[in-house]
Structure 1
Amino acid sequence: MIAATFTACKKEEVISDAPSITNLEIGTNNNKTAYPGTDIHLEADLFSARNLAGVQLTIKPKSGSGWNFSQNYTEGFANIKNASFHKHIDVPTTAALGSYLVTVTVTDVLGKSTAVVSDLEIKYDPTLPNATGFEVGLNTAGNDLHVEVSISAINKIAKIEVEVHGSAWEKDFSFTDVSMVGLTNYNFHKHLDVTAAPKGHYHVHLKIVDQLGKENEFEEHFNK
């Protein structure tokens, strides 16, 4: 008598879902507003069961002519399932005012894609706090980050926030120095402890908040 053993073949799991984009933010506190000569904050959570391949960001006028922006991003997104998309895009001083569309498109390794479209208004506000001469620099030891900038705020300074972030490390610093709060002009000069930050490329976001709650953000970079 011959006994035969049969082994059932398991079907491989078929993943058909397209990648997803959630928690999209456009502008400070998702206000969907930008101003010429500053930058605009964009952030979203990305997911793909098959692994991400890349992200495309486009900004264009709703109608007629105006500022156009298009950029593909793969570094920090390719071949992983989850990612946080966080960018600050410079808005040219010559950007035409008006209504724009922001499109974020995420593509997975099999070519499936998902796009999310959001409104953006570019407007002019001469009373926004402003920054000039923004500079950052890391010391030789790699533990002290020099941050300096000249600030002007018609509605008087309330606080300054500095965010330092890379792919594997992030830290927020908030300043309400008595010598600064209530002034319309101030030379902001700080040394931030970044000892814990691993080697890599970092973004430094400077946010100025005035006493009417108006905010403006600026960005610089450094390598460690």
Structure 2
Amino acid sequence: MKHNKLIAGFLLIAATFGACKKDDDVAELSAPVISALEIGPDNNKTAHPGGDVHVEAEITATANIESVTLEINPKSGTGWKLNTVYTEGFAGLKNAEFHKHIDVPADAALGSYDVVLKVRDSNGQETKVESTLALQNDPSLPSLAGFEVGLNAAGNDLHAEARVTSPNKIAQIIVEIHGKDWEKEFSYADANMVGQTSYNFHKHMDVTAAPKGHYHVHLKVVDQAGKAAEFEEHFDKP
């Protein structure tokens, strides 16, 4: 009996120790970390109605990412509001790059906005970082009409086209293609493009090396005044 009681006591202590150790292991997993938050090109924290706003950050979550939430709200009064939860491409990862181009409604009210990026991990821990955004009207910025991209049946050629308008004259156009495991940049400064205030952009880009997956296409128009506007489309490579 004494021998059995000793064994039972030992097992109880071992089980308790194991449970405590598991609790300690969970407790030791730190909350998610968000770094290098960038709002707008070169972190200029500005955007324009009818365009888009670039939001980028690096995320690390020891306990794996569960979701990422982006909130944009006016500092005061009424205005444009956004609350989007992202899981696809993030859930289950320990490290991720958050890189989104968010469309700004053409009728969005000008003014100052609060931007909050939140990351929640699988343990329920949440981290958030805050920044600001100014919606400004700038009719001199480059703009696009009819922007579209398309992949050929062979999956090796991507065409991109758009009608570009640039009051300060075009300096160059940059196309960046990126997915989970592949990215490439194409830069154009053709003689018949540079110095024009309007241009029919139509290019074909070699994407043979890109693996299957979902891709973002960013078309950036830089004008001769040093201003730039960036626009986004998507495609899937089967």
TM-score normalised over the length of structure 1: 0.94
1:152 to 157, 165, 168: 165
Q: 1:179: Cα distance to partner?
A: 1.4
* Range moving further from structure 2, 29-38 or 169-178: 169-178
Q: Which residue type is aligned with residue 88 of structure 2? A: E
Aligned-partner Cα distance in 1 for 2:149–2:72? 28
Alignment check: 8 A CA contact 1:15 1:49 kept: no
1:18 to 12, 31, 38: 31
Q: 3-state DSSP class of the match of 1:29?
A: helix
Q: 3-state DSSP class of the match of 2:28?
A: coil
Q: Which runs of 5+ in 2 are unaligned?
A: 1-13
Alignment check: 8 A CA contact 2:116 2:128 kept: yes
Partner residue of 1:176? 189
Any idea what the Cα deviations from partners look like across 1:13-42, whole Å, max 9, x if unmatched? Answer: 442421010000000110000000011111
Q: 1:210: Cα distance to partner?
A: 0.2
How big is the alpha-carbon RMSD for the aligned residues of Structure 1 and Structure 2?
Answer: 1.5
User: Percent identity between the aligned chains?
Assistant: 60
Q: Which residue type is aligned with residue 164 of structure 2? A: I
Q: 3-state DSSP class of the match of 1:182?
A: coil
1:194 partnered with 2:184: no
Q: 1:61: Cα distance to partner?
A: 0.1
1:221 partnered with 2:234: yes
Moved over 4 A (4+): 8-12
Q: 3-state DSSP class of the match of 2:42?
A: helix
Partner residue of 1:4? none
Aligned-partner Cα distance in 1 for 2:161–2:93? 36
Partner residue of 1:166? 179
Aligned-partner Cα distance in 1 for 2:92–2:157? 33
Partner residue of 1:132? 145
TM-score normalised over the length of structure 2: 0.88
Partner residue of 1:64? 77
Aligned-partner Cα distance in 1 for 2:135–2:108? 8
Alignment check: 8 A CA contact 2:115 2:132 kept: yes
